[in-house]
Amino acid sequence: MSSKIPKVWQMIDLARPLGLKNAKCSSRIFAPVETATAACIACQAGKAKGGRVDIPYPSLVLALAQWRKDKEVFVLDPDLAQILYEQDDTSIPAAAVDYLPYPCFYVETAGLDAYLPGVHGFFFYIGWDTQTRKELMSFIFAGKEGKIYPFDIPLDSPDLSECFDRMNRRKLLSKNAEIQARGRQELEQRDSVMLLLRCSLQVVLYLCACNAEIVPDPEQESVMKRSNGSEIKDRYVEIRKWDVGFVTGPALQAQKRRLQSEESPTRDGSHAPKRPHVRRGHWHHFWTGAKSDAENRRLVLKWLPPIFVGSVDDDLPVVVHPVKEA
């Protein structure tokens, strides 16, 4: 991006204060997407000389402007990813995202290409809707050959179906032909896109959970180098990777396979025998602090893994490794 639009990062940093003020953004917003659009136009104004200005996806530019400051990548274990994808629990208070590990991060996770071909991961950050003046959960899905699929979900709307229809309607009514075309494509693939968003949301919630298994990737940790100063050089060695669920995921899948191999039903006391089965994982949350003290009141989100009912080994110890700064 730096080579395609030189000095775009510096331009965004200069424009951010005014953009935040004009859009009346909440305190945790990095910048509205209009700031990224304006920065791209300004950086290419001289080169265009009255011609067409080539602006990439503004939401991607905005995501990269934030991500490059921390350069955090979370690599999800494929087994854990599959377990999370099977969940359908999205009725979580918006306060859960108060515990995002970083303001903007990239998630590398397998299996999303089943819903949108070529997708291998996504950027996530809290965005801003300048029309409604509300916070958004912004997903930027990365596909093959540089293809990008951005989706925004209002943070205060738990119904993914309603959110999709509302955001898609805005794309179809856009004056930008490219955005209109993307809206039509998404509408044709509505069911797949809904599954993609639901699965990705489960992953984001897991990263916010107090008992998430997240540890530094040893290979990347051995080569990672970051300067002590504030200068960002945008080099590969500045990236920090985290391994997510590489103990929990395989252990759960192994127990699931053992359960599936147990064909005979088990008897529970005087009740009729029950065949072994799995209760899907889900979320548990509770509040700490007095309701009268809103400033210090906090939501705690905890992931409850699948329960294997009727298995020989019902209890699985889950290893917890909370994220801690070095």
End-to-end CA distance of the chain: 29
Does 274 reside within a domain? Answer: no
Same domain, 20 and 166: no
Rg of the Cα trace of the chain? 22
Same domain, 150 and 80: yes
Give the rounded percent of residues in the chain with a pLDDT score beyond 90.
37
Higher-pLDDT residue of 29 and 314 is 29
Q: What is the average per-residue pLDDT within 93-121?
A: 91
pLDDT exceeds 80 at position 229? no
Same domain, 37 and 91: no
Domain region containing 42: 1-56
The predicted structure's pLDDT at residue 160: 67
Same domain, 118 and 44: no
Does 102 reside within a domain? Answer: yes
Same domain, 13 and 139: no
H or E segment and range at residue 42: helix 33-48
pLDDT exceeds 60 at position 318? no
Does 154 reside within a domain? Answer: yes
Does 303 reside within a domain? Answer: no
Which residues on adjacent β-strands are paired with residue 126? 137
Same domain, 24 and 143: no
Domain boundary among 198, 215, 241: 241
Same domain, 26 and 126: no
Does 290 reside within a domain? Answer: no
Question: Closest by alpha carbon to 149, among 122, 110, 112?
Answer: 122
Query: Tens of pLDDT along 41-88?
Result: 887 765 555 555 556 678 899 999 999 999 999 999 999 999 999 998
Q: What is the dihedral of CA 218, 227, 28, 155, to 10 degrees?
A: -30
Quote the mean pLDDT of the chain.
82
List b or e across 299-319, with b for residues whose CB sees 16 or more CB atoms inside 10 angstroms.
Answer: bebebebbebebbeeeeeeee
* Token digits of residue 73: 């990548």
Strand bridging mode 121-129 / 134-142: antiparallel
Does 267 reside within a domain? Answer: no
Same domain, 204 and 99: yes
Same domain, 141 and 189: yes
Same domain, 46 and 98: no
Question: Closest by alpha carbon to 194, among 123, 112, 80, 120?
Answer: 112
Query: Tens of pLDDT along 7-31?
Result: 889 999 999 999 999 999 999 999 9
Tell me the C-alpha distance between 205 and 92, whole Å: 9
**pLDDT class for 2, splitting at 50, 70, 90?**
low
Under 8 Å between Cβ of 202 and 87 = yes
Q: What is the average per-residue pLDDT within 94-112?
A: 93
Does 249 reside within a domain? Answer: no
Does 187 reside within a domain? Answer: yes
Q: What is the average per-residue pLDDT within 177-188?
A: 79
pTM for this structure? 0.84
Domain boundary among 241, 262, 290: 241
Which distant-in-sequence residues (6+ apart) come within 8 Å of 184 by Cβ?
172
Same domain, 100 and 223: yes
Tell me the C-alpha distance between 84 and 241, whole Å: 20
Domain boundary among 241, 271, 290: 241
Same domain, 42 and 185: no
Q: What is the dihedral of CA 107, 113, 114, 117, to 10 degrees?
A: 150
The predicted structure's pLDDT at residue 326: 43
Number of domains forming the structure of the chain? 2
Question: Closest by alpha carbon to 248, among 285, 206, 288?
Answer: 206
Q: What is the dihedral of CA 184, 87, 83, 93, to 10 degrees?
A: 100
Q: What is the average per-residue pLDDT within 304-320?
A: 61
Query: Tens of pLDDT along 118-142?
Result: 899 999 999 999 988 999 999 999 9
